[in-house]
Structure 1
Amino acid sequence: MEDLQARHRKEQRDLQSRVTQKKKQASKKTRKGVNDECEQLEAVLREKHAAEIAALDGEPDATTQTDVLSEPLEELTLKVEDEDAPHRTNGTQPAQDDVSEPTPTPQAHDEGPRGPQTKKPNKAKARLVKRALEQEEQARQAAEEAKTLPDLKSQERARMLEYMTSRGLREKEIRADGHCLYAAVADQLEQLEIPIGSAPGVEGVPAYRAVRAAAAEYIERHPDDFEAFLEEPLEGYLCKIRETGEWGGQLELMALAKAYGVEINVLQDFGRVEKIEAGAGDEEMVMWLGYYKHGFGLGEHYNSLRKAG
């Protein structure tokens, strides 16, 4: 069966190559006839392969069917190659009789009825099936490769939990949706009983939206402290903070520390702590955030770290 399937694949590739060449060289007048002939070639080959597989499996009358199908396949193949000759651009001058434009008269009308027509395959459906199989195979290969890679997510998570415990902290998970930094800061402000404020001109907005507004407002009032670090105009950057789900980072943490007068400690993998000071005095309140690089699907992520107990 493996040898038979290998031969079938080779015959399919050979036929596809001939059909492709034929269609490329067809003119507008001969295109319909060429397409019909190519489809019949493919149908005959499919029937031939099915009959050969059935014969190998021991189904009755399959051997006779294979012998019958092999002859029209060979004849049709030769016919496609012969008709293809006048269109080849290999520099050979066509004979005088071939100069006139061919008349797209299907051979089926000259030879009489050929019996029941084979149903044309749904090419769009076939392409979708092929694409789905390719994606399934790619997913399988990715899963196999992932088995040999270290689980960075689990390793980072285990280390972070260890460092939280050593510092008397517990984690409040924040949804990974692009607003995580602002939502984590909002949770910490609530724990510290610091008023969050509200977005200008908006009532009843989510807490993270009010924190976004506070960050944007502080940066807008102190442009000289931030513009040197921006890769785009300040106005557009502020619009992203206020109105989109753009992730926050170091600049936004600096703005929030100063806007709310708190020290922000960011616990990272391997126990590293980044301190962002507000510079408002020695009695600053301290909030804790947990920063993950590998732990969440969207990539970098912040969680709120509350006091344990």
Structure 2
Amino acid sequence: MESETLEQMQARHRKEQRDLVSRITNKKKNATKKTRKGVNDECAQMELDLKTRQEEELRQLQGGGEDEEEQAQDEPEQKQNAQEATTVKDVAEQLEKTTVSDEPSKTSSPPLVEQSSGGGGGKKRNRQKERLARRQAEVEAAAAAAEKEASNMVDHRGIEKAYMSREFKAHSLEEKDIEPDGHCLFSAVADQLAVHGISIDGPLSKSSKGTQTLEKKLPPYRVVRHRAVDYMEQHADDFAPFLEEPFDSYVAKIRDTAEWGGQLELTALANAYNVEMRVVQDGRTEVIQPNAVANGESNGDKKELKVLWLAYYRHGYGLGEHYNSLRKASA
């Protein structure tokens, strides 16, 4: 395989630096208050890793077979790599603050420098400074392009927040924040059950492995997980067709781990507790009723059903999808 030349390596390094600016921009654009420190640390590590690797590649390429002129330029090249990494970091921090100047700064052409050549005087091009100028211009152009791209991105988080706020106000609801720990759906349902005075207790299924006394020692979200699994196991034919894995392994994860809950679990809980679930999400409010009510088989009045309100976020939390409990706003 043909070895990479110095010019090819420098061209690749410039592309890697432009790509890094774009990646850092996207990461910091999507960071939340809770995740910003971690994102900043990750970006700093990415910059350091790129700088270290590129310097090592240059050292390996220039380590042997250098003529006198290349050896003389070795130190300026290494200084330029350090300057390049610093420039990438400055650009990323500048984009995070969204205070990029109105137009990229203009880099003037490098001056000709007089150098002695043999016994006669004359002007000789300073190729090192020309390379520095070209790289600086490319970094600035990449930063401007990344900023333009970021400005054209759809603000999904802002749109979602605006819709949710309108729905909360329309139904006189206020949020009860739930810990984003993988149990959020079940914790939110447990909170709603408590608000409506509905007991979370119920008969244990044989798979729940424990006594009623042990069950009462579990945290509320874990009890709600058990209730969902109890119903799903009793009506396996209603749920198994929607799974991409064996039914038994799926319900075991829902019962015993921090596996996220979703539509199937909401359906199971609506039936297990005989309540109506209303889930406010971006663009709509989904209503989930017990099967008997939804199919018109119940003799009871729908108005007697307790209504549990949840908020479902797809974009609002850095770790992904999330549920909060929605309570009636104080008068």
Which one of the candidate residues 188, 191, 195 is aligned to 2:195?
A: 191
Residue 325 of structure 2 aligns with which residue? 304
TM-score (norm 1): 0.56
Superposed, which structure 2 residues align to 1:10-21 within 5 Å? 12-13=6-7
Shift of 1:306: 0.5
| Corresponding residue pairs, total | 209
Contact 1:52 1:63 in 2 (8 A): no
Superposed, which structure 2 residues align to 1:122-141 within 5 Å? none
Superposed, which structure 2 residues align to 1:181-220 within 5 Å? 181-197=185-201, 201=210, 202=214, 204-220=217-233
Partner secondary structure for residue 205 of structure 1: coil
Shift of 1:44: 5.8
Aligned pair 1:148/2:161, yes or no? no
Q: Deviations over 1:89-123 (max 9, x none)?
A: xxxxxxxxxxxxxxxxxxxxxxxxxxxxxxxxxxx
Residue 39 of structure 1 aligns with which residue? 63
Partner secondary structure for residue 179 of structure 2: coil
Structure whose alpha-carbon radius of gyration is higher: 1
CA distance in 2: counterparts of 1:41 and 1:52, whole angstroms: 18
Residue 285 of structure 2 aligns with which residue? 273
CA distance in 1: counterparts of 2:234 and 2:247, whole angstroms: 11
Superposed, which structure 2 residues align to 1:1-309 within 5 Å? 12-13=6-7, 39-41=63-65, 47-49=71-73, 145-197=149-201, 201=210, 202=214, 204-270=217-283, 272-278=284-290, 279=292, 281-282=300-301, 283-309=304-330
CA distance in 1: counterparts of 2:235 and 2:314, whole angstroms: 30
Contact 1:51 1:63 in 2 (8 A): no
> Which blocks of at least 5 consecutive residues in structure 1 are unaligned?
1-9, 17-35, 68-136
Give, as a single letter, the amino acid of the residue that structure 2 aligns with 1:302: Y
Q: Kindly tell me: are residues 208 and 37 of structure 1, through their superposed partners in 2, closer, same or farther at Cα, counting changes over 3 Å?
A: closer
Computed over aligned residues only, the root mean square deviation of the Cα atoms, in angstroms, reads 4.0
CA distance in 2: counterparts of 1:45 and 1:256, whole angstroms: 76
Q: Kindly tell me: are residues 259 and 148 of structure 1, through their superposed partners in 2, closer, same or farther at Cα, counting changes over 3 Å?
A: same
CA distance in 2: counterparts of 1:263 and 1:232, whole angstroms: 28
Contact 1:200 1:213 in 2 (8 A): no
Partner secondary structure for residue 189 of structure 1: helix
Contact 1:289 1:303 in 2 (8 A): yes
Q: Deviations over 1:222-254 (max 9, x none)?
A: 112212222221101111201222221111111
> Which blocks of at least 5 consecutive residues in structure 2 are unaligned?
11-59, 80-109, 119-140, 203-207, 293-297
Shift of 1:51: 7.4
Partner secondary structure for residue 314 of structure 2: strand
Q: Deviations over 1:155-180 (max 9, x none)?
A: 11011111111111111122223222
Shift of 1:149: 1.0
Shift of 1:37: 10
Identity of aligned residues (%): 45
Flag the structure with more relative contact order, 1 or 2, with Cα contacts below 8 A and sequence separation at least 6: 2
Partner secondary structure for residue 175 of structure 1: coil
